[in-house]
Amino acid sequence: VETDAAYVNARLAPHRLMAGGVFGPSILPARREMLRRCTVDQVTELDRQGYTVLRAAMAKDEIDQAKDALSRLASAPQSRQQGLAAKSVVLRRFCNHKLFQDLTWDCLHVSTAWLFNDTAEFGAPIAFHQASGCAFSDPLQMITCWVAITDDLEGSLRVIPKLHRRGVLKHTDEADSSSATIPGLRDDDAISIPLRAGDVAVFWSLTPHAVTANSDVQAYNLQFAVDGTKILHTANTVAEQRLQWL
């Protein structure tokens, strides 16, 4: 049964670059055979719901090393800081972990993971938005790997299931994912994702997600795309830009 929120969200305005019909709203389905990391149930959940969770995906010593490296570069509570892997050998190695290579194979059908963006998430609140709404890409498909650095049993990360299949929606303040919002969005159907340190939530760049303020929670937000991906708009302008990889 369709909820009132789902009815409203199904009629939200598309992103202006979707309006011309060049980009379809559908996404590549994750592979079902020759999976390296995910189970069939997990990739099915990713395609149908827009997200899935890999429990205990990272070892404790790996998380501890990342936590220490992140704290040296971005320790302020309720803050966000991007591009830290370029400043830390430890974080660069973390981002090149075989886990993310495997997830890119399973979800994006490519054997090499390219890091588009990395952000230390130290409990700052974020309104519901799509990553693709702030960085419209060609192709549209990117994945976010939200790595829990500390336990987050209350589930400060929230997603709206199934809405990823609408494609990229209209956003306000597209230049800043910290303040971007989706006009008219109803979040009644949003769910919280409780995580323990070492768990990884995986969701499409088209999946609307938000973060509830929690100064005790730390996460490392990694976004991966296929080689050759281009960003078509930045800071509210339309411009074709080649992604700069680490």
* CA gap 107, 129 in Å, rounded: 21
pLDDT at 166 over 80: yes
The pLDDT > 90 percentage for the chain reads 65
- pLDDT band of residue 246 (cuts 50, 70, 90) is very low
Q: What is the residue type of 149?
A: I
Q: What is the mean pLDDT of the chain?
A: 88
pLDDT in tens, 44-83: 999 999 999 999 999 999 999 999 999 999 867 788 999 9
Residue 92 contacts residue 85 (beta carbons within 8 Å)? yes
Using alpha carbons only, how large is the chain's radius of gyration in Å? 17
Q: Using CA atoms, how far apart are residues 221 and 82, in angstroms rounded to an integer? A: 9
Q: Which of 109-118, 129-138, 224-233, 236-245 has the lowest mean pLDDT?
A: 236-245
| pLDDT value for 135 | 85
Q: What pTM was estimated for this model as a whole?
A: 0.92
Distance CA 107, CA 119 (A): 21
15 pLDDT above the threshold of 50: yes
pLDDT exceeds cutoff 50 at 172: yes
239: pLDDT strictly greater than 70 = no
